[in-house]
Structure 1
Amino acid sequence: MEVEVRYRPVRYARLEIKPDGKVVVTAPEGFDVNSFIKKHERWLRKRLEELEEVRKEASRGFPLLGRFYELELGDVRDVEIAGEKVVLPENREKARKALKELLRVKIIPLVALYSALMNLSPGRVYIRNQRTKWASCSSRGNLSFNLRLIALPEGLIKYVVIHELAHLRYLNHSKAFWELVGKFYPDYRTARGELRRWWGIIELNGGWRWVEGR
């Protein structure tokens, strides 16, 4: 287990596992890091085992709408799917644009449907290349969705839309917020776990590393 310790002016120590398997401990000066790691060793081992499974999935191919494809770059304008192969424009910016348009086709009808069902009025809808969040909701009611969502099964895309719409009413993760989400997506707890797994898959996937310029 590779461990990196970062001493910072923080009140409490925290653990983080990077996509490459490195364990990062952020702690105040003088903190007993060895005891901290030993205390959480079982949790760390479990998470590292899960990460290994994610790494295997990430190597299956390019994830798109919950399926894995052989990725090919070619002289195309849009995302083209033929059997087990997906073809993207060979220019990275054009590939991002094509994926954004594909996601927009999925997102806009969902926003329209669930905003009506939830009696909410969102502002503008954006598709962005976000690096830390699946989506976000601004104080003005604008919704931003991560391009990475196009990699997910459509059921999870629906969950993210419902989650962000719920923030138009509750700008927090209170009990009332989760009750609203649960009314329209009862299995939200499972969805949250699945989103963590898919984030790891995308982080480790070679095709997505190319798309994002990593």
Structure 2
Amino acid sequence: MDRSRNAAHQPGQLATILTVPTQTATQIATLGGQDIPYTLTRSRRRSIGLQISQHGLRISAPLHTPLAHIDNVLQQKAGWITKKLAQWQNKKSLTLDWSLETAYPLLGEPWQLALNPSGELAMTQSSRQESPQLPAIELTPRHIETFVMSWYQQQAIACFKQRIELYAPELALPTPPFRLSQAKTRWGSCNSRGLITLNWRLIQLPLHLVDYVVAHELAHLIEMNHSKAFWEVVGRGCPGYLIARKELKEYG
């Protein structure tokens, strides 16, 4: 009994028994005649999970699940997997490359880094014929990211504030507070306290898509659901919401 009691109080040994490292590997499955690479992560989970994003297909599985069983699951879901992967491949990417040559979209129009007359870093519309003057000093990707993100946030706050103030009266609403978000899967949201959250990436999209998301979230202040009544409210604020909604899905 004493030996058992002593063994039970060995925290290091207990941790060794209970902790199992996560295992990740790259595999390939043939689905519908296509070789589809996927990332397989094994852990202590109890079931197989599938996720498709801009990063491709990811599978989460219990530690000792045979590859044959995983492949069987993938074959059963082959149609859904290939369809979703194709949708992601066709989406317009908003991923940014932090370099002097990159065109940074603002409300659907390309902008680039340049120097203003005082010699300071600035943004200019890249549709102009002349090449933007670039700084003589070398800028790191981190410097460029910091400057561009600050510019995006300033533009987003000013634009979103203006659009909310424009559309709120259309729905007989007082102007609600809002904040920016960095969500990976949502363009916007609205909570029960009346706070609207808008993804900063919206500022990259054409203005009519910004207006649709603003009208969508304002409508939630009246209908906190996606019922027929909700979409009627959206239509009052944004009559062309069906087209905008479909177009928004083209962006990843």
* TM-score normalised to structure 1 length: 0.70
Could you tell me which runs of 5 or more consecutive residues in structure 2 were left unpaired when the two chains were aligned.
1-35, 97-101
Whether the 8 Å CA contact 1:123–1:140 is kept in 2: the answer is no
Whether the 8 Å CA contact 1:122–1:165 is kept in 2: the answer is no
Could you tell me which runs of 5 or more consecutive residues in structure 1 were left unpaired when the two chains were aligned.
201-214
Question: 155, 158, 168: which is aligned to 2:211?
Answer: 158
Matching of residues 42-121 of structure 1 within 5 Å: 42-54=79-91, 61-69=103-111, 71-72=112-113, 76=120, 79-83=123-127, 90-121=143-174
Look up the match of 1:138. Answer: 191
Query: Given residue 38 of structure 1, which amino acid in structure 2 is its aligned partner?
Result: Q
The Cα of 1:5 is off from its aligned counterpart by: 4.5
Matching of residues 5-24 of structure 1 within 5 Å: 5=40, 8-9=45-46, 15-20=50-55, 22-24=56-58
| Higher relative contact order, chain-length normalized (CA < 8 Å, sep 6+) | 1
Look up the match of 1:149. Answer: 202
Query: Given residue 176 of structure 1, which amino acid in structure 2 is its aligned partner?
Result: A
Whether the 8 Å CA contact 2:171–2:236 is kept in 1: the answer is no
1:34-85 residue CA offsets vs partner (Å, 9 max, x unmatched): 344223323322333333334789699433212345x436564654324258
SS at the partner of 2:54?
A: coil
Look up the match of 1:37. Answer: 74
Whether the 8 Å CA contact 1:135–1:145 is kept in 2: the answer is yes
Q: Kindly tell me: are residues 162 and 77 of structure 1, through their superposed partners in 2, closer, same or farther at Cα, counting changes over 3 Å?
A: farther
The Cα of 1:156 is off from its aligned counterpart by: 0.4
Taking the aligned partners of 2:60 and 2:187, their CA distance within structure 1 comes to: 24
Query: Given residue 106 of structure 2, which amino acid in structure 1 is its aligned partner?
Result: L
The Cα of 1:152 is off from its aligned counterpart by: 0.4
Query: Given residue 228 of structure 2, which amino acid in structure 1 is its aligned partner?
Result: K
Taking the aligned partners of 1:104 and 1:87, their CA distance within structure 2 comes to: 28
The Cα of 1:137 is off from its aligned counterpart by: 1.6
SS at the partner of 1:157?
A: helix
The Cα of 1:87 is off from its aligned counterpart by: 9.4
Query: Given residue 18 of structure 1, which amino acid in structure 2 is its aligned partner?
Result: S
Q: Which runs of 4+ in 1 moved over 6 A?
A: 27-31, 55-60, 85-89
Whether the 8 Å CA contact 1:136–1:144 is kept in 2: the answer is yes
| Aligned residue pairs, count | 195
Taking the aligned partners of 1:95 and 1:57, their CA distance within structure 2 comes to: 14
SS at the partner of 2:194?
A: coil
SS at the partner of 1:173?
A: coil
- % identity of equivalent residues: 29
Larger radius of gyration: 2
Whether the 8 Å CA contact 2:182–2:199 is kept in 1: the answer is yes
Taking the aligned partners of 1:82 and 1:4, their CA distance within structure 2 comes to: 38
Query: Given residue 131 of structure 1, which amino acid in structure 2 is its aligned partner?
Result: K
